[in-house]
Amino acid sequence: MAKMWAGRTSGRTDSLADSFNSSIGFDSRLYKQDIQGSIAHASMLSKQGIISFDDADTIISALQQILWDIESGDLQIDPEAEDIHMFVEEVLTKRIGDTGKKLHTARSRNDQVALDMRLYLRDFCDSTTVLLKDLIKAITGKAEENKTVIMPGYTHLQHAQPVLFSHSILAYAMMFARDIQRLADCRKRINVSPIGSCALAGTTYDTDRQFEAARLGFDSVCMNSIDGVSDRDFCVEMLGTLSIIMMHLSRLAEELILWSSQEFGFVEMSDAYTTGSSIMPQKKNPDMAELCRGKTGRVYGDLMGLLTTLKGLPLAYNKDMQEDKEGVFDACDTVAMCLGICAPMIATMKVDKDAMAKAASKGFMNATDLADYLVIRGLPFRDAYKISGKIVAHCIATDHILEDLPLEDYQKFCPMIAQDVFQAIDLANCVAKRTSEGGTSVESVEKQIAYLEGSE
């Protein structure tokens, strides 16, 4: 079959070349954005007198019907079509005849596809923001349920200082709150209209790009038509933002995997988000968390793939740019799926308060508080640090913890230590005393939850 772009060539390509060139298998998801953009374009053409109002009305009505037919299932997208743009235009022309051929006046597939991708990613920013807010809500809900539960805080995966579980898990909510901010910032650069750039040089028609952009909800238009069709920075930036989201999800997933292991036993994942073993009946595997962790590399690969595709491309549009879509769509789908699974996985997770408390009692995590106690008594911090370290070494040698070491033993290392030392090193007090802004006290946790609920 001859192509709609036939002219300079016969438009008859080898079937293998057709398959190689075709993008309908993945860009068909852009049908809504493509039709949305075409409706705005027809409105602009009639406003400027480039086509008649009657022709525009006929085109717009037909496009709206095509959209309805696709979404209702009455119209199936032809897998043999070259791309979604050609498919919509072919159906339009079949339905309304030569009037449909007027729609492509003053535009090119080059600016058309750039427009569709911007509209798609703008929509995706909005839907992903909703998913992130759902995840933050699940985390803050779990923090609220376990606001006073004490657990070990870690550095280098070693026991460091006691913290509240709520404080620890809210750290991830803060990451996702920043992701929302990044998406909003990314959306600003997405929301620039390329339509009217045409193939690369603009057009001789008296178009109104600002009108068309406003109809589509864009904030502005791209100022350079060559940049308008060749720019894929917004795709790269989106993939970078999605990679950061996946990095945060992967870190959270790793934490949950560790916490749910028998060695930790801090949390138990719901049966709905775990699997069993085909051979070991006792197993409860955190597969959903592991998949979120594993799929992170996939999204990183999508980012690197597009960066590599764009590297060294001359201006303006090149067919290489068709390769932007599969990676972008894959990353979008992956992030949406992972965010969608993580929110209920966390909401249904059980926290074992006793296991956390038992773990927190080990590892001398109140040693810093002992040093702080000595500082309050008048010692320089470095001297207090050394004395506390010697006391910890003595506890290890005598099989004690700081809480049950006799006072007389403390006083052998520092005579100024008194009975109130035991209050100072009590784990609950250690946490409660950390009232500095952003610290692990209950008061701080409540402020964090209030902040995050405000961002929802």
By CB atoms closer than 10 A (0-12, 13-18, 19+), residue 159 is middle
By CB atoms closer than 10 A (0-12, 13-18, 19+), residue 400 is middle
What is the rounded CA–CA span in Å between residue 12 and residue 21? 13
Distance in Å from the first CA to the final CA of the chain? 53
Strands (E) across 321-437 are located at: 350-351
Tokens 């028609």, located at residue: 205
208, two tokens: 């109104």
What is the rounded CA–CA span in Å between residue 389 and residue 403? 15
| Length of the chain, in residues | 456
Write the single-letter amino acid at 137: K
Where are the alpha helices (H) located in 265-351, listed in sequence order?
Answer: 287-310, 324-347
**Residues labelled as active-site residues:** 156, 277
For residue 254, give Cα distances in angstroms to 196, 294, 300.
47, 10, 17
330, two tokens: 């894959």
Tokens 């699974």, located at residue: 341
What is the Cα Rg of the chain in Å? 30
Please name the helix (run of DSSP H) or strand (run of DSSP E) that holds residue 172, with its range, or none: helix 165-190
Tokens 């934490």, located at residue: 255
157, two tokens: 């995966």
What is the rounded CA–CA span in Å between residue 423 and residue 62? 78
* Cα 96 → chain centroid: 43
What is the rounded CA–CA span in Å between residue 247 and residue 83? 33
132: nearest Cα among 253, 251, 295, 242: 242
163, two tokens: 């913290």
365: nearest Cα among 354, 356, 352, 375: 356
Which residues, in sequence order, are CB contacts of 289 under 8 Å at separation 6+? 253, 254, 256, 257, 260, 269, 273, 345
174, two tokens: 């803060």
Write the single-letter amino acid at 399: D
181, two tokens: 């901010």
